[in-house]
Structure formats: C-alpha cells, structure tokens
C-alpha cells in the first residue's frame, strides 16, 4: 500500500563542511519524501551565531545539489524565527516550568562531586544536579541567563510515547517514562544565555511549524527525541513519527563529526568522484574511489 505523502527535512548547521554523515542524513530524508510523493525541506539551523558562517551555508546548497538532491522551497533559517522561540519560552515560563541558571560546566561537575567519567550523562552532557532550581524565581523571564526546564514539574500525568520507523532494532512504540526523564535527562537548558533559545526548543517548534510528518535523524539523537516529545506535549504541538538512521563511521568505527574535514563532500567532488559512487558507498558500503 502506498504511504501518504511525507514531509521530511534536512536540518544542517552551517558551521563547517558537510561530510559523508550529512550526505547520508540528507539522502534518507530526501528519499523517504520522494518515495511517498511528499516534500523534502531544508532548514538551516543557525541559532549559534558565533559558529555559523554564510560561506558554509552556500556550500551546503552546492553539496546537496551536487549529490543530486532536490528540495522544496522555502528554505527556513532559524535565525529568522527567534520570535517564535521567545513566545514558547514565555509560555513555559508563565506555567512555572523554567528557572534561570548561572552554572557553567565546571560548577556542574563540582556540584556532582564526581570525576567526569562517573557522572550520569544526558543528551547534553552531565545530568544537571539542580543547583539553581530552588533559588527565588524572578517575576519577569530573564533574557541574560540560561533557562532550564524543571523536569519534575514538567512531567505529564499520563505517559508519553513516540513511534519509531527507522532502524529495525528500534522500531515500534517507545514509551517515555518519568524515571528516564528525571534520571537520564534532567533539567535541560531550553534557552542558552548567548542564543536566547536552544537546539531542543527550536527544532520542536520548527518541525511543528513546517508540518514535518516524519523526522529523520541519526540514532545518536534518540535520547534527544524523548525531550522533543515532552516539549511537544508541553507546547500543545503534534508529535511526528520518527525515523532514526544508522550513523556513518570512519574506518576506526568512530562517528563522523564536523572536524572530519577529510571526509568533506567537497574533497570527493574536487577529486572527480561521481555522486552516484557516494550514494552506492553510503547505501551498500561499497568502497569509495
Ligand atoms: N541541526 C541538527 C544536526 O545537524 C539537526 C538534527 C535533527 O534534529 O534532526 O544534528
């Protein structure tokens, strides 16, 4: 039976060259949309103004076009969407679910009183020990400090879940338990002091605003997805279906990261490799070059 048309997206941050891992993420989103007769969108996640560069953004489009991927307009930029994030923060603040935090990473590790290897790690690093949670809360939402979600207060009365359609080992309905959110996620930052928002908040608002039906992303973001489903619940937004895909790794088995410039698509491009060879390599593991 043909599936209904999906709306998917590729959401890169223009902070460096796209590598093979990005190419795979873009291909997965593109192919699922096209196979269903749906739409494939690009969203530039440029909230971290200190790290994003217009040159990188321009290269993203060149690389995607070279790979043979076509996308549907309009392209969204998160830097143009700050008012929507502010409105969501106001809503959560008014519900008493956020509190300001002045801790840096060193303060957090000191409060946890444990060597870094021994502390519980959440999707954004060490699970926050709650140092600032009980300080008096200002009347007006401050914009010069980080804002954390008070996880214990934010937990819903009935359990949440999401549907996974990607990796076969993960497929099915995933319940999100209060214990998991408290112990393995904790009070995450929803607005960073220097940005006025965060990845988690912006991605949830924009996926809903763009009507994304199927969120495709690497399996490394599986834990982050649980935060997103909670935020959708708190903000009255629909929960899309999810498709977490495998990660592209180097010869040592390490996940490719931005610093892996050696695998930047542009290098393959200038070496004269055909985009089809990249596709073959990513989908079948066939050797490159
Ligand atoms: N900008 C994020 C990244 O590149 C998007 C991932 C996602 O939410 O799917 O990792």
Can you tell me the mean pLDDT for 212-240? 97
Which residue lies with its CA nearest to atom 7 of ligand 1? Answer: 217
Confidence of residue 260 (pLDDT cuts 50, 70, 90): low
Residue 231 has pLDDT above 80, yes or no: yes
Residue 227 has pLDDT above 70, yes or no: yes
Q: Supply the pLDDT for residue 120.
A: 86
Ligand 1 contacts CB of residue 198 (under 6 A) = no
By mean pLDDT, which of 47-56, 122-131, 208-217, 256-265 is the weakest? 256-265
Q: Supply the pLDDT for residue 3.
A: 74
CB atoms within 10 A of CB 275: 17
Contact 27, 282 (CB under 8 A): yes
For 138-263, where are the alpha helices, taking DSSP H only? 151-154, 178-180, 199-209, 222-235
Share of residues in the chain with pLDDT > 90 (%): 82
- Distance CA(149)–CA(188), nearest Å, equals 6
Ligand 1 contacts CB of residue 21 (under 6 A) = no
Ligand 1 contacts CB of residue 203 (under 6 A) = yes
Contacts for 105-108 with beta carbons within 8 Å, 24 or more apart?
Answer: 107/131
Greater confidence (152 vs 120) lies with 152
Tens digit of each residue's pLDDT (9 = 90 or more) over 183-223: 999 999 999 999 999 999 999 999 999 999 999 999 999 99
pTM: 0.94
Confidence of residue 256 (pLDDT cuts 50, 70, 90): confident
Can you tell me the mean pLDDT for 107-121? 81
List the Cα angle 40/45/37 in 5-degree steps.
Answer: 5
Ligand 1 contacts CB of residue 13 (under 6 A) = yes
- Distance CA(8)–CA(39), nearest Å, equals 6
Q: Supply the pLDDT for residue 145.
A: 96
Residue 131 CB partners (closer than 8 Å, separation 6+): 101, 103, 107, 108, 111
CA-nearest of 1, 10, 7, 21 to 265 is: 21
Total count of residues recorded for the chain: 289
Q: Supply the pLDDT for residue 127.
A: 95
Q: Supply the pLDDT for residue 74.
A: 98
Ligand 1 contacts CB of residue 101 (under 6 A) = no
Q: Supply the pLDDT for residue 113.
A: 81
Tens digit of each residue's pLDDT (9 = 90 or more) over 135-193: 999 999 999 999 999 999 999 988 899 999 999 999 999 999 999 999 999 999 999 99
Can you tell me the mean pLDDT for 86-114? 94
Instruction: Sketch out the chain's domains with CATH numbers.
Output: 1-80+259-289 (3.40.50.620), 82-238 (3.40.50.620)
């Amino acid at each position: 039976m043909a599936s209904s048309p999906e709306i998917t997206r590729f959401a890169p941050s223009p902070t460096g060259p796209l590598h093979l891992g990005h190419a795979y993420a873009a291909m997965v989103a593109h192919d699922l949309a096209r196979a269903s007769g749906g739409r494939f969108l690009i969203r530039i996640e440029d909230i971290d103004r200190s790290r994003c560069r217009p040159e990188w953004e321009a290269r993203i489009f060149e690389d995607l076009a070279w790979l043979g991927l076509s996308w549907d307009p309009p392209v969204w930029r998160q830097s143009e969407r700050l008012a929507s994030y502010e409105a969501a923060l106001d809503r959560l603040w008014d519900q008493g679910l956020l509190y300001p935090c002045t801790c840096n990473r060193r303060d957090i590790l000191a409060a946890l009183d444990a060597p870094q290897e021994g502390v519980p790690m959440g999707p954004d690093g060490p699970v926050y020990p709650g140092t600032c949670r009980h300080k008096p809360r200002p009347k007006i939402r401050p914009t010069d400090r980080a804002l954390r979600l008070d996880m214990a207060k934010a937990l819903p009365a009935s359990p949440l879940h999401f549907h996974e359609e990607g990796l076969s080992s993960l497929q099915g309905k995933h319940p999100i338990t209060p214990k998991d959110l408290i112990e393995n996620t904790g009070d995450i930052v929803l607005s960073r002091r220097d940005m006025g928002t965060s990845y988690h908040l912006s991605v949830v608002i924009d996926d809903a605003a763009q009507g994304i039906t199927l969120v495709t992303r690497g399996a490394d973001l599986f834990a982050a997805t649980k935060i997103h489903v909670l935020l959708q619940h708190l903000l009255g937004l629909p929960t899309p279906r999810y498709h977490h895909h495998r990660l592209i790794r180097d010869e040592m088995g390490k996940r490719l990261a931005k610093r892996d410039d050696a695998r930047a698509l542009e290098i393959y491009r200038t070496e004269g490799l055909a985009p089809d060879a990249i596709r073959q390599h990513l989908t079948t593991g066939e050797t490159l070059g």
